[in-house]
Structures are given as C-alpha cells and as structure tokens.
Amino acid sequence: MKTVITVAIVEDKEPIRQSLAILVDGAEGYSCQATFENAEAALDYLPTHAVDVVLMDIDLPGMNGIDCVRHLKALCPYTQFMMCTMYDEDETVFDALKAGANAYILKRSPPHKLLEAITELHEGGAPMSSTIARKIASSFYTSQAVSPELEALSSREREILDRLAKGHSHKEVANELFISPTTVRKHIFNIYGKLQVHSRVEAINKYLGRK
Amino acid sequence: MKTVITVAIVEDKEPIRQSLAILVDGAEGYSCQATFENAEAALDYLPTHAVDVVLMDIDLPGMNGIDCVRHLKALCPYTQFMMCTMYDEDETVFDALKAGANAYILKRSPPHKLLEAITELHEGGAPMSSTIARKIASSFYTSQAVSPELEALSSREREILDRLAKGHSHKEVANELFISPTTVRKHIFNIYGKLQVHSRVEAINKYLGRK
DNA sequence: TTGAAAATCATACAAATGGCGTATTGTCGG
DNA sequence: CCGACAATACGCCATTTGTATGATTTTCAA
C-alpha cells in the first residue's frame, strides 16, 4: 500500500505559503491538506483534522508559531511539528524544542531538502539544519572545567550550598547537620567569598551553573 | 586548493578498524591519519598530532570512548568527535554529548552515510542517526504542564520572579522596572502566596522547575 | 611535628527579607 | 455600573541574612 504523508502549512506570507503548498502537493507521496495564515486558524482546525506533519512558521502575526505548537502538541499527540524559519537564534530554537517541535529547519534550505526532511520527520527522525543541530549538540557540552571557583569550595561548604539550593534557611541547615546556626552562616560567608558573590541566589546560580 | 579532511579512528575490533580506515582512505578528500585500538593510545598521540575528525567507538577496553572524548576535547579544541556505536541508549547518548561529542551515529549506518557525516561534521553540522536526533530533540520537551501554580502568576509577577531568579535584590528589581521597592516586595509577597512557598529560593525553584 | 586550611562557635550591627494591613488607580467582563 | 483583580504604594514588625571580628579545635599534608 502506498502511504501518503499528510501535511498542513502555517505561514502568513501568501507567496511562501503558496509555493510550499505547491511543492508538497506536487511531490509524490505527499499531500497538503490545509494551509493557514495565522496560528489561531490552525488551532481552530487541526485538533479535529489531524495531519501527519505541520510546517510551522515562527514569525506570525498574533500568536507566534512556538506558542501555537505548544497548544497543538497537547491536542494532536501524533502530529509532528517542523519549525520553518528565517533565523537560527539560540533562544528561539530551544524554546521551540521545549514547546514540542520535532524538527527545525531554515527557510533557505533547498526545496528537495524540505521534502526529505518531511519524510525523515515522519519516519521518526528529527531533521535539523546543520547549524541548528550543532547548537543543540553543543548545549549539552559543559566544559568539565566546573569553573575553578566551584573547585575552591570544601566538601562541607558544598554540602551546605547544596542544601541552600534546595531552599533551606541557615537554621534548617544547622539542624540537618547538627551544627550551630552561626557556623552555617560563617560557612555561607566563606562560600560567598570564594564564589565572589554577595547573595544566596547568586551563589546558587553559580553552583548550579545557571548564568 | 583542495581540502583534505584528516581523520583518526579509535576502535578496538581489528576488522572494523581496518574497514573504517580503508573506507576513509579510499574516498577522495579524506585521509586517515592514525588508528588506535584503545583510548589510552589515542590520548597519547592526538594531543600532539591533531586531526580534523575522530571516529570514536564507545565500548572500548580500559577507558571508554566517552571519557576519552572528555579528555581529548580539552586538549584538541578544534577537533570534532563523532561517536560511533552499536547502541542508542539514552544515557550513553547524553553522556557523550555532555563530554563534548559533536556527532553520534550508529555503526549500522551505510558506508556512504558515514562519509557524508564526516563531511557534514567538518562543515559545522552535527550529524546524528535519526533515532538519536529524535531522542535529543524530545529531551527538551517538557509537557506544557507548567504546574497550575505558575499559571496563576500575572505577567508582572513573572517578570519580577524572573529577575529575582537572576540574583537581583528587590531594590535592584525596583530600579530596573522603575517602580517602588515597596511595590516589588508586595509583588513578591503575592507570588509566595500563589506558589505556596515562604522563601525566595523556594519560589525560584518552583519557577525554574527544579524539584 | 608543625603549619595551613578547614570546621566549629560567639557576638554584633545594618540591611534585606518575610509577613501582614491598608489604600488608590485602572482594567475587564458580566 | 459593579465586583474582581492587577498594579501601584506606604508603613510596621520580627526574622533572616550579609558582613565583620575574634577565637578554639580538627585535620591533614609537608
């Protein structure tokens, strides 16, 4: 049996929307079921007319493509979402993935690549433009240089900082470790010195590596 | 000028190592500079004889491929590492990426795909077997259940909480938002009520989804 | 064993924070 | 128009926290 991959397109610019639709419909094995010029229309239609793959522009008038995916993902669990955008900015990429996007390609990709990507996506892959893929892979890399500052902490200091990070007060930590609250405060003071910060939240951010 | 991509191979099984080397050396534009049958030998040689791309098996006798990458990455910043393995287990994949691997492909990939991957890697991409790519993309997806409590926050409250999370004091936030410190404190008080917490760090933990 | 670093504790002070009550203004949906 | 709610703002109080000075004991490597 021949499997046809059903596709929907969300893109506000008329010419781009048209050419994408023609590209998809013209290729064997693909069928463009619907096109929308904004997120709201897609949210209205797709939950009751599920398709295999949605090509989603990010920069839309009104609700943006990322929020649109976030909503649709919950309503159409079997639909795959491919973000299609002009830009490859860091935050946008990660926000899209967090929202549930399964693929992220740049509009400047050649048409045949687009069709390949749709197939790959439908077969369980996660096609990404190469620069995007590199960004994502790199995001996991934490140069094992845990920042020399953290290395300077003694094990006791680390234990205390860890409990502070859980939201405990110095009194609570004192009780947990069976030491005086003053001692805990002294440790905290020393920790601040080593990490070169002046508040609890700053220390915790350094400890947990959030910048 | 023609650019030749220099490659090194770390793989303990003799026949596989040989066939990979022949594959790489036989193709135009690729040159296999060295092969190693264990991580230690690679760690010994590569820091002083950098190559463009290293194909790294994970399951090695002695030190495993992931730890090997971790060490080499610090010493050979311009070298790209491609993990080459039989398995696609979750933890292994993420550990490899955290260690600094730039690509992750399964050995069952066809030879021509391997060469393509080397090129893509060298050109700044991050080739992944499709199942791997999907795993990675999915790892970002946090079912939008942001905990109903966070939903209760107004946008102003969210903005303030976000700045607190960066380590700013209420006075600093007040200056940033051009409102009175008292107002900021009132907001913080309301935030605590909605999140059902009693301290700044607890609120931030809920906000950032750390449990 | 000797010296440095770490861990412990005390006291003190000022600033920041947590926990209220109250009030004004503006917006929005019924 | 009314009630609900968000945002703004002030004041008051008790506690926590950041900073500082000083001291004793443990630990561990040189």
* Mean pLDDT calculated for residue range A42-46: 92
Q: Which of A51, A55, A23, A59 is nearest to A36 (CA)?
A: A55
Q: pTM for the whole thing?
A: 0.72
Size of interface A-B (CB pairs under 8 A): 115
Tell me how far apart the alpha carbons of residues B211 and A1 are, in angstroms, rounded to a whole number: 48
Nearest to A94 among B97, B140, B202 (CB): B140
User: What is the pLDDT averaged over residues B26-44?
Assistant: 93
Domains of chain B: 5-127 (3.40.50.2300), 142-209 (1.10.10.10)
Element counts in chain B: helices (H) and strands (E): 11, 5
- Residue B102 · residue B56 · CB < 8 Å: no
A:125-184 residues touching chain B, CB 8 A cutoff: 125-128, 130-131, 133-134, 136-138, 140-145, 164-167, 169
pLDDT band per the 50, 70, 90 thresholds, residue A17: very high
What's the Å distance between residue B27 CA and nucleotide C21 C1'? Answer: 80
B103-143: pLDDT as tens digits = 999 888 888 889 999 999 999 999 998 889 999 999 988 76
At residue B119, the pLDDT reads: 92
Query: Mean pLDDT score of chain B, rounded to an integer?
Result: 91
Long-range CB contact pairs, B14-23, < 8 A, 24+ = B16/B57, B16/B107, B20/B55, B20/B114, B23/B111, B23/B114, B23/B115
Q: How far is B137 from chain A (nearest CA, A)?
A: 6
First to last CA, chain A: 53
Query: What tens digit of pLDDT does each residue of A131-176 get?
Result: 899 999 998 887 656 677 788 899 999 999 999 999 999 999 999 9
Mean pLDDT of B188-199: 95
Structure token pair of residue A190: 């020393």
Covered bases, chain C (protein CB within 7 Å): 5-12, 16-22
- Six-digit token pair at A157? 């200091």
Closest-approach residue (CA) in chain B for A125: B130
Calpha distance A158→A153 (Å, rounded): 6
Nearest to A124 among B102, B131, B164 (CB): B131
> A33-58 burial, b for 16+ CB within 10 Å, e for fewer?
bbbbbbbeebbeebeeebbbbbbbbb
Percent of chain A with pLDDT over 70: 96
Confidence of residue B211 (pLDDT cuts 50, 70, 90): low
DSSP state of B141: -
Is B130 in contact with A130 (Cβ distance < 8 A)?
A: no
Task: Give the model's pLDDT for residue B144.
Answer: 57
Radius of gyration of chain A (CA): 24
- Nearest 5°: the CA angle B133, B137, B142 is 155
Angle, helix B200-208 to helix A200-207, in steps of 10 degrees = 40
List C-alpha distances in Å: B16 to B9, B21, B80, B109, B113. Answer: 10, 8, 21, 13, 16
Average pLDDT over residues B59-72: 92
Separation of first and last alpha carbons in chain B: 55
Per-residue pLDDT tens over the stretch A69-108: 988 998 898 999 999 988 777 778 888 999 999 999 988 8
Check if the beta carbon of residue A135 is closer than 8 Å to that of residue A89: no
Provide, in whole angstroms, the distance separating residue B179's CA from nucleotide D8's C1': 8
d(CA A189, CA B81): 42
Checking if the pLDDT of B152 tops 80, the result is yes
Task: Output the CA–CA distances (angstroms, integers) from residue B180 to B155, B158, B183, in the order listed.
Answer: 18, 17, 5
pLDDT for res A62: 82
CB A168 within 8 A of CB A176: yes
Measured distance CA(B83)–CA(B69) in Å, rounded: 9
Q: Would you call B77 an interface residue with chain A, using a CB distance cutoff of 8 Å?
A: no
Nearest to A46 by CA among A66, A26, A73: A73
Cα–Cα dist A84/A54, whole Å: 10
Q: How confident is the model at residue B2 (pLDDT cuts 50, 70, 90)?
A: low
Residue type present at position A59: D
pLDDT at B91: 81
Biggest alpha carbon–alpha carbon distance for chain B: 73
User: How far is it, in rounded angstroms, from Cα B67 to Cα B45?
Assistant: 16
